Amino acid sequence: MKDIIVIGAGVVGCAVARELSKYKLDVLVIDKNEDVAEGISKANSGIIHGGYNEKKGTLKAKLNLQGNKMMDELADKLQFPFKRNGALVLAFNEDELERIKLLKSNGENLGVEGLELLNKEEILALEGNINQDVVGALHVKSSGIVSPYEMTLAFGENAVENGVEFRLGLAVTDIKREDKGYKLTLSNGENLEAKMVINASGLGGAYLNNLISEVKYEINPVRGEYCLFDKVAGAMCKKTLFQVPTKLSKGVLVTPTVDGNLLLGPNAKSDNSVSTSRSGIDEIMETSKKTMKELPFNRVLNTFSGLRPKVESEDFIIEEAKDNPNFINVIGIDSPGLTAAPAISTYVVDLISDKIQLTKKDNFKSTREKMIRMADLSIEEKNKLIKENPAYGKMVCKCEFVTEGEIIDSIKRPLGATTLDGIKRRTRAMMGGCQGTGCMIPISMILSKTLNIDISDVNKNSKSSTVVGFKED
């Protein structure tokens, strides 16, 4: 019997797992996907929010502020890319100007630091490509950008280094309460037992709760579509540029990414599909012109969409199920869930501290070494590495300058990649101009050889997404 089973290997589940790994506990993380960060955590804006837009007294407001303040130290210790680039909430008329003044007042009331109102001249001095019709802006100095999947991987890898077990590609199909805890049935027919269950399964959170509790929840997914531009367009702005938020979302933004691309989106549609639509992408493009008139739409690399797990209360639900002791729900973690994730993890551990014995480890490893990125190294560093391991001298992805050595490393690391998308998120291979046209097959061959599987068993992301689809004689 496990001490704790965490269901869900997104950013919240991995952050909780890392926090639990500080203690002498037998912890298992389960996820239905073949990799961590395959759900909500891979497809979002990657924004570390300042927190000015939340409601006082909510968990969102409290944990957003706490999570934001934790980010610098975590990024340093766990070596994931994070930039505190700041944000501007732009007003283009007098009504919007009054609304950003209210946002400033609300933010200050919540304890958000570094908020200031800027006039047109001050805005254009910071961001010269903004629409000249701008009349004012709220400058949010504490806002930042992060790679959401690299942040998730960092939490997950560090949890593994500290003894947490991960089992991926297995869905929980049933949960039953027993005398000493809970029995979970998995999609492969296997049964597991745990003294405590933490339900951090994103869009599946309500379903899992409803399997066992008389208190029912419902998640209403909201789809957001995005346009990703290349790194030439990435130089168009330094700060994250918001329009005045709506009830459904913080609005269509224009932002640089930590990797140097430009990102536009999202819109907000009540929908559980992760497809993109011509009308949705047109909507994003048209709406974003309010922020920047001269966006280079010929530089779009890709479009994608992600889902936000909205709940009726419009606040995070983080609590023990009222009729099931030691079943902890972490439900409805939509925006600002990415920002709040590290604070959610400490909140959950505080919540369970009087329910299960927590004894701190003497040997907890608080740091994690990032992957080698050949593109970021000096000539001297590259030559030294290639001399030690010639695989680092064999270029595979020419668009993003990713080598065979980096791909093999991504497979052999803790929580190593087992799919093409897993390699993509860890190395940026296939994220450049050709979007994998030139390197997908060579990477599949490296994956096949390293994992000792037939190339026909190499998948893009799930077991039904075969890349090559034939067996060699």
pLDDT digits (tens, 9 = 90+) for 176-230: 999 899 999 999 999 999 999 999 999 999 999 999 999 999 999 999 999 999 9
Distance of CA 346 to the CA centre of its chain: 18
CATH fold for the domain made of 1-83+144-219+311-370:
FAD/NAD(P)-binding domain (3.50.50)
Catalytic residue numbers, as ranges: 49
Query: Please, which residues bridge with residue 118 across strands?
Result: 137
What are the sequence ranges of the domains in the chain? 1-83+144-219+311-370, 87-141+221-307, 374-457
Cα torsion through 292, 298, 302, 304, rounded to 10: 40
Q: Which CATH number fits domain 87-141+221-307: 3.50.50.60, 3.90.10.10, 1.10.3720.10, 3.30.9.10?
A: 3.30.9.10
Q: Identify the pLDDT of residue 245.
A: 83
Single pTM value for the model: 0.96
Spans of the chain, pLDDT less than 70:
246-250, 470-473
Q: Identify the pLDDT of residue 470.
A: 59
Burial class (CB in 10 A: 0-12, 13-18, 19+), 358: middle
Q: Give the number of C-alpha atoms closer than 13 A to the C-alpha of residue 442, restricted to the C-beta side.
A: 17
The sign of the CA dihedral 260, 264, 268, 269 is negative
Residue 230: name the closest of 258, 255, 254, 260 by CA.
Answer: 260
71 in Cβ contact with 223 (< 8 Å): no
| Average pLDDT of the chain to the nearest whole number | 96
- Alpha-carbon distance of 47 to 295, in angstroms, equals 21
User: For 374-457, which CATH superfamily applies?
Assistant: BFD-like [2Fe-2S]-binding domain (1.10.10.1100)
Residue type, 355: K
Largest CA distance in the chain: 71
Residue 328: name the closest of 357, 307, 310, 355 by CA.
Answer: 355
- Residue 469: which region, alpha, beta or left (left: phi > 0; alpha: psi -120 to 50)? left
Residue 405: name the closest of 418, 395, 416, 392 by CA.
Answer: 392
Query: Please, which residues bridge with residue 431 across strands?
Result: none
| H or E element, residue 222 | strand 220-229
**pLDDT 10s digits, 124-141:** 999 999 999 999 999 999
- Residue 325: which region, alpha, beta or left (left: phi > 0; alpha: psi -120 to 50)? beta
Burial class (CB in 10 A: 0-12, 13-18, 19+), 56: exposed
